[in-house]
């Protein structure tokens, strides 16, 4: 007989959890009733929120983690996984949600950032994290920090798909570019991608009247030196070059409002979609939810997309990106 050693919170379990939601739709819900509608429509998970992004946008002010009581109500109402959002860099909210037992934490630009320099070091947690990214640099930094899943930022609460499409292009084309570069060139990219971790130390040196120099053994983010971050990012870039995709599950988010939007995201190579305001801000949420689930499943069958897009009622009212007062996607680099 051998000894049974049990392990929790490993990288394999965190990334594995994300793999189990592939090909699925994760829906924003604000109460138990919406969560049940989502579950019955075939959602693979729900995101428990105080307000959907469209309403967060409208309300203004500081958007924080949802009331844990509300999250618990949603956890009790459904059998599928429940995710919840924290503000970027907010360890207090992250530890609270981990203690509450949510299945995944979204460190999200949709809420007001808590830290203008850094994201949470997600390796310190047993619960898996998903983070938004506009480009490969952001994606790789989040993966290095321990994110088990990446999603596009898109522009949440707009019902406008244009930013999500832009972010997918920026990631996918950059991955293709890596294929044509040698290791030295990729190392140069790794150094560039690691630069945002230097912002705090450079600000401090400037405030102190010192020249903008990085000390070799000085930690710049948590316990990590710049060199360690560069090496970590370099390793991830080499893996991406080889796989020709991100090494974690990659979803679309931010602006998905119709079944055809969801199908487009899948056609562009995404592993699944988050739908925020798009479902419960439409005139017939139940029907819209079912149609988007089917669209993700049949994304490569145009006749099915045409059929399920019929007679869904009004989708959410969309917003033009140029006319927005707040660009959520610019939060957290």
Partner 1 sequence: MKVGVIGVQGAVNEHIEATKKAMERLNISGEVFWLKKAEQLKNIDALIIPGGESTTISRLMIKNNLLDKVKDLGESGLPIMGTCAGLILLAKQIEGAVRDQRFLELLDVRVSRNAYGRQVDSFEALLKLTFDAEPFLGVFIRAPRIIEIFGKANPIAYYKDEVVGVEQGNIVGLAFHPELTDDTRLHEYFLKNAF
List 19, 51, 70, 85, catalytic entry: 85
Q: How large is the C-alpha radius of gyration of the chain?
A: 20
Cβ–Cβ under 8 Å, residues 311 and 283:
no
Q: Which is nearer to partner 1, 43 or 65 (CB)?
A: 43
Question: Cα dist. 310→258, 265, 299, 307 in Å?
Answer: 11, 19, 15, 6
Cβ–Cβ under 8 Å, residues 155 and 328:
yes
**Residue 65, class by beta-carbon neighbours within 10 Å (0-12 exposed, 13-18 middle, 19+ buried)?**
buried
Q: What is the DSSP string of 116-154?
A: SS----GGG-SS-EEEEESSHHHHHHHHHTT-SEEEE--
CB of 7 to partner 1, least distance (A): 5
Residue 277 CB-half CA count within 13 A = 26
**Residue 113, class by beta-carbon neighbours within 10 Å (0-12 exposed, 13-18 middle, 19+ buried)?**
buried
CB of 27 to partner 1, least distance (A): 12
**126 carries an active-site annotation:** no
Cβ–Cβ under 8 Å, residues 84 and 105:
yes
Q: Which is nearer to partner 1, 27 or 114 (CB)?
A: 27
Q: Which is nearer to partner 1, 75 or 253 (CB)?
A: 75
Tokens, residue 53:
């992004």
Q: Which is nearer to partner 1, 27 or 165 (CB)?
A: 27
CB of 12 to partner 1, least distance (A): 6
Q: Which is nearer to partner 1, 101 or 218 (CB)?
A: 101
CB of 9 to partner 1, least distance (A): 7
CB of 128 to partner 1, least distance (A): 7
Dist. CA 234–CA 227, nearest whole Å: 10
Place of tokens 């959520």: 328
CB of 249 to partner 1, least distance (A): 9
Dist. CA 197–CA 134, nearest whole Å: 17
Positions in the binding site for partner 1 (CB under 8 A): 1-10, 12-13, 16-17, 19-24, 39-40, 42-45, 75, 78-81, 98, 101-104, 126-128, 293-294, 297
Q: Which is nearer to partner 1, 301 or 330 (CB)?
A: 301
What residues are annotated to the active site? 85
């Amino acid at each position: 007989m051998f000894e049974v050693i049990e392990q929790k919170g490993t990288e394999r379990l965190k990334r594995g959890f994300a793999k189990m939601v592939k090909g699925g739709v994760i829906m924003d819900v604000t109460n138990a009733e919406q969560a049940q509608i989502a579950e019955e429509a075939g959602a693979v998970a729900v995101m428990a929120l105080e307000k959907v992004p469209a309403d967060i946008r409208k309300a203004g002010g500081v958007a924080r983690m949802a009331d844990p009581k509300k999250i618990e109500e949603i956890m009790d109402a459904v059998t599928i996984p429940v995710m919840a959002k924290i503000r970027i860099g907010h360890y207090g909210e992250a530890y609270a949600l981990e203690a509450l037992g949510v299945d995944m934490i979204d460190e999200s630009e949709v809420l007001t950032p808590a830290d203008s320099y850094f994201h949470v070091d997600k390796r310190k947690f047993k619960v898996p994290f998903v983070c938004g990214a506009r480009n490969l640099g952001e994606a790789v930094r989040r993966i290095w920090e321990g994110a088990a899943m990446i999603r596009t930022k898109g522009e949440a609460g707009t019902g406008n798909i244009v930013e999500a499409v832009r972010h997918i292009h920026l990631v996918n084309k950059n991955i293709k570019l890596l294929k044509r570069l040698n290791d030295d060139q990729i190392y140069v990219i790794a150094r560039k991608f690691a630069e945002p971790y230097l912002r705090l130390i450079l600000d401090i040196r400037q405030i102190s009247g010192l020249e903008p120099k990085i000390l070799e053994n000085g930690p710049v983010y948590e316990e990590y030196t710049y060199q360690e971050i560069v090496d970590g990012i370099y390793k991830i870039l080499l893996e991406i070059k080889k796989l020709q995709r991100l090494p974690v599950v990659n979803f679309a988010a931010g602006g998905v409002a119709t079944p055809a939007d969801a199908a487009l995201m899948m056609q562009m190579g995404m592993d699944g979609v988050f739908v925020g305001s798009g479902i419960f801000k439409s005139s017939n949420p139940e029907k819209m939810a079912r149609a988007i689930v089917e669209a993700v499943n049949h994304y490569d069958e145009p006749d099915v997309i045409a059929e399920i897009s019929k007679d869904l009622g009004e989708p959410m009212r969309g917003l033009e990106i140029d006319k927005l007062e707040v660009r959520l996607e610019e939060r957290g680099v």
